[in-house]
Amino acid sequence: MFTAKRIQFVALLFLVWNFAFSKDINIPKPVGPIPSENQMRWQEMERYAFVHFSVNTYTDMSWGFGDENPSIFNPAKLDCRQWARVCKEAGMKGIIVTAKHHSGFCLWPSKYTEYSVKNSPWKNGKGDIVRELSEACKEYGLKLGIYLSPWDRNYAGYGKPEYITYFRNQLKELLTNYGDIFEIWFDGANGGTGYYGGARESRKIDRKTYYDWKNTYKMIRKLQPKIVIWNDGGDRADLRWVGTEAGCVGETNWSLLNATGDVSEKMLRNGLENGDSWVAGEVNTSIRPEWFYHPSEDKKVKSLSQLMDLYYNSIGRNATMLLNFPIDKDGLIHPTDEKAGIEFEKAIKEAFAVNLVEKKKAIASNVRDNNLDFSPQNAIDKDGNTYWATDDHVNVASLTIDFGKPTLFNRFLVQEYIRLGQRVKSFNVQALVAGKWKIIAQATTIGYKRILRFPSVKATQIKLNIIDSKACPLISNIGVYNAPQILMAPQIIRKQSGEIVITPVDNESVVYYTLDGSNPTIKSARYFRPVPTNGKVEVKAIAYDALTKKMSPINQENFDIPRKEWKILGISDEKVYDVLDGRASTAWHQPQNIKLPADLVIDLGRICTLTGFRYLPDQGLWNPGIITHYQFYVSEDNVNWTLASDGEFSNIKNNPLWQTKIFDTLKARYIKLRALQNTEGNDNVGYAELDVITSK
Ligand code: FUL
């Protein structure tokens, strides 16, 4: 009940308050480059999808060569509404389609080429996938983006000035006929070789000058004023690639770069603290290992824990997330990918369902001009346009929130008001546990959004300490959550001895496994120590947490013949056996004095019936010494060699995965992998693993 006295007291408080805080609003000055409206709109989308579809979907290749016959393109059940529905249900805000990939084949009936859907059997050449997708996106409230490969392996004039006119004509078609386009994607990949109208040769272009990006950008911005431009190959644009397709950006992530000058891999990963332009990072990765649909990857769709890692390592590190769904031969997103995408969205919703600091009390060590407009309460008011700010030159400050009761949590989310520049260089989070402040997490940059993960902690208060900042910090949002546990599938390797080693990702869970292809349960064999095996074997394993009774997804590895008797010939360095140790994390490199072509020769110890081989490049940071072009020879006597396979490992630079090459059955006791070229244009050749495929 309000008594008269109480009302008087409140009125008095109101007056004093007004007096104390009735100064002019002293809005902080921007610091460094700031995002444009287009970049802001794009950043707030947070996640959107890629769809990869082209003629190479039908040849099972990563890249089309440009000579694939359009008659192979016949997606009998193509349904862009299914793509849009799945993407929407997976929480995506838009879809970027490979209107033209490196093969040069166009998913729309471009009037500038015959190499398109118009010469395919699909809809008797009357179809237009870009049109169907733009309509489906509208129906589902999604934005449309376009991937147009600058490299065109079909076009006869590629490499000559005439191609630039062709490229711009195609761009014009795409940017005028399909409504608003939110993002345009210019892939920097260029492997050189191609069909090129029948020339079948290698063509080199100067990535810096050939495309004349400056004028192309002008045209794009005129046609689509609200677009953002992604370009990893040429002139800096609005967004940057983060240097990897593995699904993460650096933990330190500045949304800045310099507008001119070379960009190193490190700059792509971390941005540039004092860069002169706003060029935020976009993490692009696929829900499967590869970008295009390959039936052999049906069991390799990312697990929920992998997808959640992706979320935290992209959106949780101040980047956006561009997640690819390959389109299968029928013209649909595969049901396994659909299920994974929808579960992913559900798990994100669950993790961030309850913000435990909402409606709590926040206090700060400093409030700008003691003005309520900059109150710490602004950081927990659900309004991204209000923020807690400190006085100018107060770059070290803290904000404390009282839960009011012991509260369990394991995630901390924080956002800067980036419209006035990215500022924070370093911060940590403390929790008041049983009366004592304990540091539970520390990190560097924040930017648009930063999410930290840590083991669950029960505390009564939480404190954000800004340790270093370019200028007064501006914090627009804080969230504290208790995300449900997601168990990760254990890792499985086979050592050269043939022993299977299974390792859970955390130390709370136990492992169960099978060797007969059946799905493991808690009734299967429990893993305690390495398991000896002989011959081909299919291993499946799960991790199980007895406390929560949760079970991880199944991990499955198929191993070919054991490599026990294998000897690597002509190399005395014992480290060379890292190539056969089953561990992706160890690698061996050819000695520095070896020039390309470089050979690795292995004696398999007995005659085997080979049908293929597999190569895993060095998985170390920056993946050094990746082979791009190879020859693979076999021999029965180490004297007479037969060429079993030769060619390129397409897209291996950006996606350094296991490369599998199949050939006609050959008997051999010796194998030789000859490296012809690497990604760096030098003689560095590395191998994490080498294996063979034998006939059944
Ligand atoms: C890479 C391309 O070469 C891949 O095929 C894929 O399109 C990926 C998104 O970009 O550089």
Identify the band that residue 234 occupies on the pLDDT scale cut at 50, 70 and 90.
Answer: low
pLDDT per position as a tens digit, 96-149: 999 999 999 999 999 999 999 999 999 999 999 999 999 999 999 999 999 999
Q: What is the pLDDT of residue 621?
A: 63
Q: Is the CB of 651 under 6 A from ligand 1?
A: yes
Please check whether the domain covering 37-351 is classified as CATH 3.20.20.80.
Answer: yes
SS3 state at 369: helix
Q: Kindly give the pairing relationship between strand 588-589 and strand 686-687.
A: antiparallel
> Cβ atoms within 10 A of the Cβ of 385, count?
9
Q: Is the CB of 190 under 6 A from ligand 1?
A: no
Q: How many angstroms is it from 128 CA to the middle of ligand 1?
A: 22
Q: What kind of fold does domain 567-694 have according to CATH?
A: Jelly Rolls (2.60.120)
Identify the band that residue 14 occupies on the pLDDT scale cut at 50, 70 and 90.
Answer: very low
Mean pLDDT of 46-60: 98
Q: How many angstroms is it from 689 CA to the middle of ligand 1?
A: 24
Bridge partners (DSSP) of residue 647 are 630
Q: Is the CB of 244 under 6 A from ligand 1?
A: no
Q: Is the CB of 654 under 6 A from ligand 1?
A: yes
Say what the pTM is.
0.84
Q: How many angstroms is it from 98 CA to the middle of ligand 1?
A: 10
Do residues 668 and 604 touch, judged by C-beta distance below 8 A? yes
pLDDT per position as a tens digit, 556-567: 999 999 999 999
Q: Is the CB of 407 under 6 A from ligand 1?
A: no
- Probe residue for ligand 1, chosen from 51, 61, 655 as the CB with the greatest number of ligand atoms within 8 Å: 655
Phi, psi angles (nearest 5°) of residue 565: -90, 5
Q: Is the CB of 56 under 6 A from ligand 1?
A: no
Identify the band that residue 22 occupies on the pLDDT scale cut at 50, 70 and 90.
Answer: very low
pLDDT at residue 262 above 90?
no
CATH number among 3.40.640.10, 3.40.50.720, 3.40.50.150, 2.60.120.260, domain 361-481? 2.60.120.260
pLDDT at residue 1 above 50?
no
> CA-CA distance, 260 to 256, in Å (whole number)?
12
Q: Is the CB of 189 under 6 A from ligand 1?
A: yes
pLDDT per position as a tens digit, 379-389: 999 999 999 99
pLDDT at residue 525 above 70?
yes
Mean pLDDT of 481-497: 92
pLDDT per position as a tens digit, 323-335: 999 999 999 999 9
Q: Mean pLDDT lowest for which of 202-206, 469-473, 478-482, 620-624? A: 620-624
pLDDT per position as a tens digit, 82-110: 999 999 999 999 999 999 999 999 999 99
Q: Is the CB of 679 under 6 A from ligand 1?
A: no
Q: Is the CB of 151 under 6 A from ligand 1?
A: no
Q: How many angstroms is it from 303 CA to the middle of ligand 1?
A: 22
> CA-CA distance, 518 to 524, in Å (whole number)?
10
Mean pLDDT of 240-246: 93
pLDDT per position as a tens digit, 379-426: 999 999 999 999 999 999 999 999 999 999 999 999 999 999 999 999
- Probe residue for ligand 1, chosen from 50, 51, 65, 651 as the CB with the greatest number of ligand atoms within 8 Å: 651
Q: Is the CB of 187 under 6 A from ligand 1?
A: yes
pLDDT at residue 479 above 90?
yes
The residue nearest atom 11 of ligand 1, judged by CA position, is 189
> CA-CA distance, 332 to 82, in Å (whole number)?
7
| Nearest Cα to Cα of residue 657 among 549, 589, 584 | 584
Half-sphere exposure of 569 (CA within 13 A, CB side): 12
User: Domain residues of the chain, as ranges?
Assistant: 37-351, 361-481, 491-559, 567-694
**503-518 as b/e, with b when 16 or more CB fall inside 10 Å?**
ebeeeebebbbbbeee
Q: What is the pLDDT of residue 382?
A: 92
Q: Is the CB of 291 under 6 A from ligand 1?
A: yes
361-481 and 567-694 share one fold: yes
Classify 491-559 by CATH class.
mainly beta
The residue nearest atom 8 of ligand 1, judged by CA position, is 291
